[in-house]
Chains A and B, each alone.
Chain A
Amino acid sequence: MLVSGIKSRPVYTGLILDPHAEHHLIAVEGEGALAVLDMLSPAPRDAAEKATILYTKAGSAPVDHEGALAKLHPYRLQPLPTIQTLLIRLQGFLTTAKMGTRIYIAGTEGFIGQAMQVALNNAIDFHSVRTEHRGSLARRIQCVHCKGFTENVTMSHVPCAHCGLNLLVRDHYSRRLGAFQGVCIDAEVPGELPPAEEIFP
């Protein structure tokens, strides 16, 4: 789990089963599947029977956890090819979700941020969503200049995937955007850059 003094970064308190939920809607990416297994394996059998699991193995891990998730015998398991398709599916399920649905998100921070955006856009209070960070520490950043997003940033600074400016990855996080802020690092003297270090492996 991430530990940091960044005041604007959400705290991911971990997946804890809500025994009173009528239905569990679980969005999970990569190693986040292990958090779902940790939550549901020891739970009473009817927990999985009330669970919809949207899973993409995506970014962080080469391992496919689909088989392990299937062994939980969830009500519904949907493997999706990418984060983007998972988010579309999540939106679809939220559109028809009923009272008593509890939402869970597990995976890398960039994934949690994007899935949380979908929840927020459906007027769901972020406090009510249970989240767990698993996998890479890579950050999703938004360029404050062109507003484009760059995914899976592991280095202290990185060229913007859109406008190409060299961006310092700041410790300031927007839940609304689901991203850290990237600000031009060599604005004072263009080209004057410290060596990039891998700090979010």
Chain B
Amino acid sequence: MNLVFKKETFRDDFTFKNSPEHVRRFPFPFHEDKYMYTVNIEPHTPGPVNSVFEFPIDVDEHYVSEMEDRALVLKDDPLRCQALPHMQLAEWDLVELLMVSMSEHYPEHFTLTRDGDKWHWINRPLGIDQQFTFGDTATLPYPPMEYITRQCQGDFCLIDQRDGNLWMDAGIVTTQADWSLDFDIGMNFMEWHGPVPLAHEAGVFDRALKFLMNLQLGKPVRRLNWTMSINPRLDTSPENFHKWGSDRMTVTPENIGEKVHLRVELQGLWRLPRSNAIVFSIRCYLISMNELVSVPKWARRMPRVLKNLPPELIDYKGLSRYRQMTIDWLSRFDDGAPTSPGGQPD
């Protein structure tokens, strides 16, 4: 895919839009006409050409603008990027994972040259040319995790494994669906998932923890998660909830198509070689209802999924104020025809 990086915003005037090609590659998360929590983890192996799964780290047309939005978040609130001291080796592991993947799969945009621990990184879209010593934090302008994740779309958490549990001990979180790294850092797997309804009782987290503790080097996995957002706002943080919460009151039957967005997280997990930590990446994809209904299968399925959600999920995902209005609007595009299995367009 020939990438043209868009100049757009995820706040204030909200000029974010997907090109028609990017609508088609949107990772629509519903493989049938209803939704319930499952572990839904699959190998993170290469997917179809031009899909978000083609490469381990997906770089898309929103790359430059998303990185600008991240810089704005960090400028206001440095607590969005934190690492406990024992995570520094894992930070360097992350530098390697991201630089190697981005430069291998997008050589026209990123170049990595390695001579022992003397590394040279070129990021053309962001205009960065950096020589540094791998493992020596003093040779980078930011700590290693922050340095590379200011140049890679998606939130990243570094998870330590010890005492038969997983611990969220570092992360950069600026495009989150309403959770706070500053609050959750240092928690174990069950603790940071504490507020999620229904899934604990279904045994989802017990099974997921067991699975992830056995994650193997070189065999990353992925899953999709979803919620909805009003406006294409990346930073739906609890920290700023008092500023964006009232967005939910601005939805009317006339503006649903442009205001209401499906927000999908492509979550990836990699075992890291030196630290034995796990990278947990949470990449956010946004699509407006106008864009979504341009794919007939999604236009049929979306209102059916919303109709059948358990009440706990409606509340947890913050949909209460506008769900019915959205169903009513979307139902105009649902002719009742059966839909094909899987999430991809027909």
C-alpha spacing A177/B184, complex, angstroms:
9
A145-B241 CB under 8 A given contacts A170-B195, A181-B180, A189-B249 = yes
Residues of chain A with a CB closer than 8 A to B192's CB: 8
Inter-chain contact A174/B184, CB cutoff 8 Å? yes
Inter-chain contact B195/A174, CB cutoff 8 Å? no
Inter-chain contact A7/B191, CB cutoff 8 Å? yes
Q: Which one, B183, B243, B249, contacts A174 given CB within 8 A? A: B183
**Is A175 interfacial (CB 8 A cutoff)?**
yes
Inter-chain contact A144/B191, CB cutoff 8 Å? no
C-alpha spacing A6/B79, complex, angstroms:
25
Inter-chain contact B242/A8, CB cutoff 8 Å? no
Inter-chain contact B246/A144, CB cutoff 8 Å? no
Inter-chain contact B321/A188, CB cutoff 8 Å? yes
C-alpha spacing A142/B183, complex, angstroms:
9
C-alpha spacing A124/B79, complex, angstroms:
24
Inter-chain contact B190/A7, CB cutoff 8 Å? yes
Inter-chain contact A144/B241, CB cutoff 8 Å? yes
CB-CB nearest in chain A for B248:
A188
Residues of chain A with a CB closer than 8 A to B343's CB: none
CB-CB nearest in chain B for A10:
B191
Residues of chain B with a CB closer than 8 A to A67's CB: none
**Is A194 interfacial (CB 8 A cutoff)?**
no
CB distance from B62 to the nearest CB of A (A): 27
**Is B185 interfacial (CB 8 A cutoff)?**
yes
**Is A195 interfacial (CB 8 A cutoff)?**
no
Residues of chain A with a CB closer than 8 A to B191's CB: 7-8, 173, 175
C-alpha spacing A147/B184, complex, angstroms:
13
CB distance from A8 to the nearest CB of B (A): 4
Inter-chain contact B180/A144, CB cutoff 8 Å? yes
Q: Which one, A6, A7, A9, A188, contacts B245 given CB within 8 A? A: A188
Residues of chain A with a CB closer than 8 A to B242's CB: 145, 165, 184, 187
Inter-chain contact B239/A7, CB cutoff 8 Å? no
Inter-chain contact B245/A187, CB cutoff 8 Å? yes
Inter-chain contact A189/B246, CB cutoff 8 Å? yes
Residues of chain B with a CB closer than 8 A to A144's CB: 180, 182-183, 238-239, 241
Inter-chain contact B241/A184, CB cutoff 8 Å? yes
Residues of chain A with a CB closer than 8 A to B321's CB: 188
**Is A171 interfacial (CB 8 A cutoff)?**
yes
CB distance from A192 to the nearest CB of B (A): 10
C-alpha spacing A177/B186, complex, angstroms:
10
Residues of chain B with a CB closer than 8 A to A177's CB: 183
Q: Scan residues 189-204 of chain B and give those whose CB is less than 8 A from a CB of chain A.
A: 190-195, 200
C-alpha spacing A150/B186, complex, angstroms:
21
Inter-chain contact B194/A172, CB cutoff 8 Å? yes
**Is B187 interfacial (CB 8 A cutoff)?**
yes
**Is A183 interfacial (CB 8 A cutoff)?**
yes
C-alpha spacing A153/B58, complex, angstroms:
45
Inter-chain contact B200/A7, CB cutoff 8 Å? yes
CB-CB nearest in chain B for A170:
B195
**Is A44 interfacial (CB 8 A cutoff)?**
no
Residues of chain B with a CB closer than 8 A to A42's CB: none
CB-CB nearest in chain A for B192:
A8
Residues of chain B with a CB closer than 8 A to A190's CB: 246
CB distance from B173 to the nearest CB of A (A): 13
CB-CB nearest in chain A for B180:
A144
Q: Scan residues 1-50 of chain A and give those whose CB is less than 8 A from a CB of chain B.
A: 6-9
CB-CB nearest in chain A for B191:
A8
Residues of chain B with a CB closer than 8 A to A172's CB: 183, 194-195
C-alpha spacing A119/B187, complex, angstroms:
16
Residues of chain B with a CB closer than 8 A to A6's CB: 194
Q: Scan residues 35-90 of chain B and give those whose CB is less than 8 A from a CB of chain A.
A: 79
A187-B241 CB under 8 A given contacts A7-B193, A7-B200, A172-B194 = yes
**Is A176 interfacial (CB 8 A cutoff)?**
yes
Residues of chain B with a CB closer than 8 A to A8's CB: 187, 190-192, 194-195
Task: Name the residue among B186, B195, B242, B249 with the largest chain A CB count within 10 angstroms.
Answer: B242
CB distance from B317 to the nearest CB of A (A): 14
Inter-chain contact A175/B186, CB cutoff 8 Å? yes
Residues of chain B with a CB closer than 8 A to A183's CB: 238, 241
Residues of chain B with a CB closer than 8 A to A175's CB: 186-187, 191
C-alpha spacing A176/B245, complex, angstroms:
27
C-alpha spacing A152/B183, complex, angstroms:
19
* Sample of 10 A–B contacts (CB below 8 Å): A7-B191, A7-B193, A144-B180, A145-B238, A145-B239, A171-B194, A173-B191, A184-B241, A187-B244, A188-B248
A6-B194, A144-B241, A171-B194 are known contacts; what are 6 more A-B pairs with Cβ within 8 Å?
Answer: A8-B187, A145-B239, A170-B195, A171-B195, A184-B241, A188-B321
User: Contact residues of A with B, CB < 8 Å?
Assistant: 6-9, 127, 142, 144-145, 147, 165, 170-177, 181, 183-184, 187-190
Q: 9 nearest interchain CB pairs?
A: A187-B245, A7-B194, A8-B194, A8-B191, A184-B242, A176-B186, A144-B238, A187-B242, A188-B245
